[in-house]
């Protein structure tokens, strides 16, 4: 009884190989979508960081450009200042105001041109909570007495469970020139 050897695959071998190939495709697909989601999260975080960086850079330049200390109005939810900006030949009035929204708070920036009376308003950023703080007598405070001049102005932002604090220290000697 000589049986001839048949060449080919048995049904069990084909089913096992299909199972292995299917599992491989499922793992590849899951990995692809997890990576895609993580890439989107990283891109959103980078975009938020870029927005913060641009805001903090402009905020520092505007605070350092304050030219009228008498008309400076400071509150934990609103700052009004007159500043010399690098791109302008004359001072402008800048107002930062924090407004409540259904999703948290929104920081609005308004700039008024004294020469032409032109003004524009833009939303700067939104977060769960935004406050201005003032460095007085060696500590950061939310409120400022009218007779005191702060040694610094800071922004405290709570966004996505993170606290971001950005201080700008003031140099009065240079401002008095």
With CA atoms as reference, report the closest residue to 122 among 176, 54, 40: 54
The verdict on residue 68 lying in a domain is: yes
Q: What are 114-151's pLDDT values in tens digits?
A: 888 899 999 999 999 999 999 988 899 998 877 778 88
The verdict on residue 98 lying in a domain is: yes
Q: What are 40-69's pLDDT values in tens digits?
A: 999 999 998 898 999 999 999 888 888 777
Report angle CA 108, 88, 47 to the nearest 5 degrees: 40
- Residue 175 — pLDDT band, cuts 50, 70, 90? very low
Report angle CA 160, 166, 167 to the nearest 5 degrees: 155
With CA atoms as reference, report the closest residue to 117 among 90, 151, 144: 90
The verdict on residue 57 lying in a domain is: yes
Residue 10 has pLDDT above 80, yes or no: yes
Question: Can you give the residue range of the structural domain that contains 139?
Answer: 45-175
- Number of structural domains the chain divides into: 1
The verdict on residue 6 lying in a domain is: no
Question: Residue 96 and residue 118: Cα distance in Å, rounded?
Answer: 17
The verdict on residue 55 lying in a domain is: yes
Give the three-class secondary structure for 8.
coil
The verdict on residue 28 lying in a domain is: no
The verdict on residue 23 lying in a domain is: no
The verdict on residue 12 lying in a domain is: no
């Amino acid at each position: 009884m000589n049986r001839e050897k048949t060449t080919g695959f048995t049904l069990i071998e084909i089913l096992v190989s299909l199972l292995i190939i299917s599992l491989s495709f499922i793992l590849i697909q899951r990995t692809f979508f997890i990576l895609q989601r993580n890439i989107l999260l990283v891109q959103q975080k980078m975009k938020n960081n870029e927005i913060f960086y641009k805001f903090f850079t402009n905020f520092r330049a505007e605070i350092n450009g304050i030219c009228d200390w008498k008309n400076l109005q400071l509150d934990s939810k609103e700052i009004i200042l007159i500043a010399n900006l690098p791109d302008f030949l004359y001072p402008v009035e800048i107002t930062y105001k924090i407004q409540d929204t259904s999703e948290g708070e929104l920081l609005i920036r308004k700039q008024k041109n004294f020469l032409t009376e032109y003004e524009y308003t833009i939303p700067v950023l939104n977060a769960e909570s935004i406050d201005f703080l003032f460095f007085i007598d060696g500590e950061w405070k939310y409120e400022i007495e009218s007779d005191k001049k702060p040694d610094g102005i800071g922004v405290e932002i709570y966004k996505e469970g993170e606290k971001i604090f950005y201080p700008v220290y003031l140099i009065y000697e240079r401002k008095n020139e």
